[in-house]
Amino acid sequence: MTEQWLCIHLHRLSLDVVVRGLESSEAVAVCASRGSSRWIHDRADGLARQGIKPQMALASAYALAPGMRVYPRQLMAEASALEQVAGWCYGISSRVSLFPPDMVLAEVGASLSLLGPLERIAQAVRQGLKRLGYRSRLAAAPSAAAARLMARAGRYGRITRLQPLPRVLSTAPIAAAEIPARDLESLSRMGLTTLQELLDLPRPGLQRRFDQQLLDYLDQVLGLQPEPLRIYQPDQAFHSTLELPCEVENQEALLFPIQRLLTELCDFLVARDLIMDRFHIVLGHSHSEHSVIPMGLLEPGRNEQRILELVRERLHHFQLAAPVRELSLKAQHFFPCQARCQDLFETRSRGMDQLPRLVERLCSRLGDTSVFTLSEIEDHRPEKAWQPDILKQRQASGQSSSKSGSPMASRPLWILDQPTTLPSCPTLVSGPERIESGWWDGEDVCRDYYVAECRPGEHLWVYRDRREDRWYLQGIFS
């Protein structure tokens, strides 16, 4: 099977890493510097319409657009973003390679039968990277070197066979090829400017004049020789950071950049067929310690809208300790995704499906320590047979909210905090159930429990204290 390499050229990466956390970026520019010199490296389309061009001196650019916002180029953020895109590409290929500063290669020939034709894969890549905030241009060829050369030469397109490669690349400039600077200078002195002119030279003459590296590169471009590539190995845990262009003091303004990171996280899970039950949002401050917002799901999942709604609820009630300069998203607790079979007749109640979502929203709105569940205790005394547990703590420990064992006698849903004295014996329906327990802690009881009827259809759970010979109300059946 012929390999098919897709070259993803992130041609606006230096600008994208700055503006992907902004909802509006019409007046943003990125500048580079050397010593005291500063110039425009890239700019938003709105500034381009005002005449701002790359390599323009910063002072000249301010003269044309006084209101533009200028940020320094972030080389470390660009390298990190390139790795994030490479990790995202694992959703379309298992062979991904990085080519800094702005290219990622993915071999998609083995994925054609699963993901569809090359055009569909290319469309999915463009749309997926756009959701993450990156603009891209794509070139595809049977060899990785040819795909990179096409991208560097601005020949964005698709070549599926080896035979047309020499013709398609014939006019590609030699300056776009991966040839050492010393050899490029020699070729320029010889008057060579295009790849076709280089290929037309006699091979023995090239061998005498240049190193073997040049000949190997030409063979790799034409697909005549395999190219050794370093395959990118993604991390098993997810960690993505987004540096904000300016300090943010409002929780609502954090939602847009957080959504960028959540999209990246959910795509990470889909590419690996995983789900998660918890993650952390880390808010970085300039002059104080980072703030950590733990987020948990009652049921593991990867639905972006569901998770974003929980984050929105949590942020609405979260007080920022200081203005936020950086956002990070961390997740490392994953589970294999197991698809649930759908019921043809929908016998499962829709309300049961919505209950975990309701509990998650309550936890996000009220706080994890404000939502409780009930757990059983191995004690026969009704007032000591249960205890409230914080739901998220029970979920994190992996405990169940109920214990298996022998079936218990009928119990009411409503148990009174303290038994209430009854003036006389009520009308008994069933019983007795004798409970004698608690001698070891000094709160021993000796009771006979009955189900009593107060009025038609209303049943009570009562008992007679055998020591005092008095009747008490313990609970009410709903």
pLDDT digits (tens, 9 = 90+) for 116-158: 899 999 999 999 999 999 999 999 999 999 999 999 999 898 9
The per-residue pLDDT for 402 is: 46
Say yes or no: 11 and 141 in one domain: yes
The pLDDT of residue 385: 79
Residue 467: inside a domain, yes or no?
Answer: yes
| Per-residue tokens: 365 | 């709105």
Q: Is the pLDDT of residue 400 over 50?
A: no
CA-to-CA distance for 205 and 200, rounded, in angstroms?
11
Number of domains forming the structure of the chain: 4
Mean pLDDT value of segment 417-422:
88
Instruction: Strand 137-141: give its sheet, edge to edge.
Output: 96-99, 103-107, 5-9, 137-141
Q: Do 119 and 215 fall within a single domain?
A: yes
pTM of the model: 0.74
Indicate whether 78 belongs to any domain: yes
Which pLDDT score is estimated for 54?
A: 95
For the chain, percent of residues with pLDDT exceeding 70:
91
pLDDT tens per residue, range 460-472: 999 999 988 899 9
Which pLDDT tens digit goes with each residue over 320-360?
999 999 999 999 999 998 766 656 555 555 555 566 777 77
Range of the domain at 450: 410-478
**208 and 91 within one domain:** yes
Are residues 437 and 421 located together in one domain of the fold? yes
Supply the CATH number for residue 306's domain: 3.30.1490.100
What is the pLDDT, as a whole number, of residue 345?
58
- Overall average pLDDT of the 183-211 stretch: 92
More confident residue, 80 or 368: 80
Mean pLDDT of the chain: 87
Same domain, 9 and 149: yes
Query: Averaged over 382-404, what is the pLDDT?
Result: 61
In a domain, residue 256? The reply is: yes
Q: Distance between CA 129 and CA 358 in Å, rounded? A: 32
